[in-house]
Structure 1
């Protein structure tokens, strides 16, 4: 009986040892060497974009999820870059969780490609890849490149927003932009106070304008002054087909040990609609900063060497001084220029 008892203990010990070895193997598979990047394929590699196919789905991508060696929630981001540029200028599009196929309309693809600064009406070559990550401790991996040749079309149009916030001058007013000229215009404007009044003009003059007729409704060459529902940076969307206007908070600020408010609160930036960048001139101390949206950690960017990364590392500020900060969330770049 003792022999059986000892034999049972030995078998249990061997089983536990083997289980530990399996866990050890699984940890090794989770190392950089064991990671398998996602695979990406496009249903076409040559597309001509125009207003005629702008509402059609013009490009499909199919992907196989990456394998990090263990079960984990993966974030996949599709990157468009200029061919041979090594993604120095990049447009990123987050792929919804769990999706293995995604389609893009002509409007969507056109706006992505135009954000890279390519000319319209002529073919340009692009590199496309998937960036996959699970957390900051595991190396980001990239799929093999897919090639795309595309001809974007010119379609950008503007509206202008003169109002009390800038002295009612259409010539210097902030703008709303429609990248696809589809009647939907957006822009971000800093209003100093609630109920700050403004109108919307079609040119930088008062020849034609939109006013408000009811909450969320506007009329061409009619209605009264429109009122900002609250103070702060507000993203305005105007639909000139439906004659509607809406507002939502859209603010970016800096936070961190180098900023005036430390890690306790944001110092807000201002959006430059004409150049589609966020700007701030501010006194900083030696320390660290990050960029945060709408005063919340749900969306934040860090980075290094002028390149932004979602949820990335704190950005170092080497010495105290007055800095001009410019951030481009389309290209995911930033500059800190000491005066």
Structure 2
């Protein structure tokens, strides 16, 4: 029995010791965690730069604002954040505000968007630095903890944004010198300062406009007399009006970089026209330019055919766009050229209006290729 009593006493002592030891560990662990989780963290705000000159080439970059958590004084209260940006002289009286709520510790803004804010909201001038301030404010769910703020002074210099649109105008283009119908180039998504035109051009000249307003007093991009691969930005219609010239009708790819002021003109190995029509009183079309009879495209996209009975009179062949008399045409080399002669010229406009002639002797059914 003595042996059993000693065993019981020893067991009880061990249990008490383990309980006390476990409680001590638990208490220590909680205190350490609490000290770590609620340690003081002074609210600080940092920026990508405190003095930056913005540039159009930065369109893919972002300007960053980052901040620390702040200190909730060990209350365990959640923290919400608000960022304000304003001119330094305003002292945040007219600030742009971004309320982020909880668990947000950074904010990025696209350089192009930031530049727009500087010019429109803060009335900035391109090339002139603007003194600004950014302020981050931390507020706490436990109102016993006062709001905390951090302020950073910085300077940003905006740029004059390039046009987001570009148009071709001139007698080499489908709509001639009618600037209200100028042909649009396509801005490239990967680089919005690069514009591309890929379509038909006629013999003639062209230049680039930034909009389709009827006034020719707008900004234009014209040819650099010293370098065929360069363009000149003429503001408000000023400067030399040098234009590019297309000497051979066909399909072209034109690439313009407004930032680098470069141009590349490439002739494409494709037919100049994808449709042809016969027009004239010698043909079933008559002098109808709106709904003339069409040629048929063969397996070779450069070869078109048309078959019909031709009567004594004249005709010519329309190309490009229907509905106008001064567009693109295939005409004979001289007026009233015999249908049996094969000479042909491609030209545009109404100045040279040569036509083939079908006489009583040459009238009949023809296949024109």
Q: Higher relative CO (CA 8 A, sep ≥ 6), structure 1 or 2?
A: 1
**Higher Cα Rg, which structure:** 2
Return the TM-score normalized by structure 1. 0.33
Return the TM-score normalized by structure 2. 0.31
More strand by share: 1
